[in-house]
């Protein structure tokens, strides 16, 4: 009897584990099985918008634009993008938006707002 046969005879018979098929099964419907899974994490919106500090407005807008891209908000509907912007800015932003001479359609367009 060979060493391999002796080792197999003394150990209980088990099926070899196949990790690769499990990884591919768990990877979802990716077109490319070699693509690593995406990381999932929560991205926080920018800090509160301060209407009383106009010197910080440009910085806040840049930060919101980064948030918009990093969170994939830019792939969402225009109305959702506008609503998220106004929500992040606060109640005062909603009051200002209502006072603008925009049509209802324009109020739902991110670039217009």
At 24-46, the pLDDT tens digits run 444 445 455 666 666 677 889 99
Evaluate if residue 9 carries a pLDDT over 90.
no
- Give the count of domains, the chain: 1
Domain holding 72, by residue range, is: 54-108
Instruction: For the chain, give the mean pLDDT.
Output: 78
What pLDDT does 49 receive?
94
* Contacts for 7 with CB less than 8 Å, ≥ 6 apart: none
**Model confidence at 96, in pLDDT bands (50, 70, 90)?**
very high
Residue 92 included in any domain: yes
Residue 91 included in any domain: yes
What pLDDT does 7 receive?
47
The residue whose two tokens read 């768990």 is 26
Residue 27 included in any domain: no
Residue 67 included in any domain: yes
pTM above 0.85, yes or no: no
Q: How far apart are CA 79 and CA 83, in angstroms?
A: 6
């Amino acid at each position: 009897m060979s060493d391999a046969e002796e080792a197999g005879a003394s150990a209980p018979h088990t099926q070899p584990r196949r990790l690769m098929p499990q990884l591919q099964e768990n990877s979802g419907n990716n077109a490319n099985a070699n693509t690593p899974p995406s990381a999932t994490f929560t991205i926080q919106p920018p800090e509160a918008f301060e209407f009383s500090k106009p010197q910080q407005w440009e910085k806040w807008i840049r930060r919101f634009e980064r948030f918009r891209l990093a969170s994939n908000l830019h792939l969402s509907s225009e109305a959702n993008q506008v609503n998220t912007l106004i929500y992040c800015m606060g109640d005062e932003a909603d009051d200002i938006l209502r006072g603008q001479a925009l049509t209802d359609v324009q109020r739902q367009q991110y670039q217009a707002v």
